Amino acid sequence: MKKIFLSGASSGIGRAIADLLIARGDEVWGTSRSPARIPSAAGMHPVALELMDARSIEQAFEGALAEAGYFDVVINNAGAGDFGPFELNSEEALAKHFQLLVLAHVQLMRLALTAMRAQQRGLIVNVTSLASRLPVPFMAPYNAAKAAMASYTMTAQLELADEKIRLVDLQAADIRTSFNDSVVKTGMENPRVAKVWDEADRNMKKAPKPKLVARRVLRLLDEKNPPPRITVGDFFQAHIAPFIFRFLPQRLRVWGLKFYYGI
């Protein structure tokens, strides 16, 4: 039985992870801005957390840690995104994305590291995105924030190489969640923007369900030496596309992504 702190546990990937963890007998301290949205179940401990508020982050983690005693695993999963031309992104929108997807998770990483060093073991999983390597057009703040978190995670892996605390960058490709339902869209009167949105939305609707990610996370938790980075999604997005794009010059990468989204 493991004790896990999981952000964004009320829906999507986080909810799927929580459900499988509880089903196998683990205990989960799952966070949400609205804890009432987290289903009541044996082994689930709802935690109120506002990722836009540094004090809320500290209070949520420290309160959960005091109740749990220790955490074997911390999973940074919560997130959100906007859709629209990069030149229309306000400073407020950029700041929001980096707070939600980078600064909040970095703060949780630091809190987790302090706790895990005391017990000399632990696993931190940062759920980033394949968009950090293969950006989605008209989602510049999301792509950039996920890339920043992926880079931050790799840097931490370099610095913690001799410790018994493991870090994993879990890069999710398109996964069928309600993510698109909460996306704020701008510039949709532009035919190119609208076309990419339609394509991205179609990809989301035919993508694998969140349980695919949840099953991979459960395997990670049981590995003695988990890989530093994994990509989870359908076969093309998770394996073929990253492999091909890895060897292409930037000009061809841009062309390939434009072709993929039909622009």
Res 40: pLDDT: 84
pLDDT of 41 above 90: no
What is the C-alpha to C-alpha distance for residues 101 and 51, in angstroms, rounded to an integer?
Answer: 9
Res 245: pLDDT: 87
Share of the chain above pLDDT 70, in %: 100
Residue 51, domain extent: 3-261
Res 98: pLDDT: 95
pLDDT of 78 above 80: no
Q: pLDDT band at 178, cuts 50/70/90? A: confident
R_g of the chain, CA atoms, integer Å: 18
Q: pLDDT band at 49, cuts 50/70/90? A: very high
Res 193: pLDDT: 93
Residue 229 φ then ψ, to 5°: -145, 135
Q: pLDDT band at 102, cuts 50/70/90? A: very high
- CATH code, domain carrying 111: 3.40.50.720
109-121 average pLDDT score: 94
CA dihedral 77, 82, 83, 88 (to 10 degrees): -140
What is the C-alpha to C-alpha distance for residues 216 and 122, in angstroms, rounded to an integer?
Answer: 18
Task: Please spell the DSSP secondary structure of 213-240, one letter per residue.
Answer: HHHHHHHHHH-SS--SEEEESSHIIIII
Domain count, the chain: 1
Q: pLDDT band at 183, cuts 50/70/90? A: confident
Nearest to 210 by CA among 161, 251, 170: 170
Nearest to 154 by CA among 132, 121, 122, 131: 132
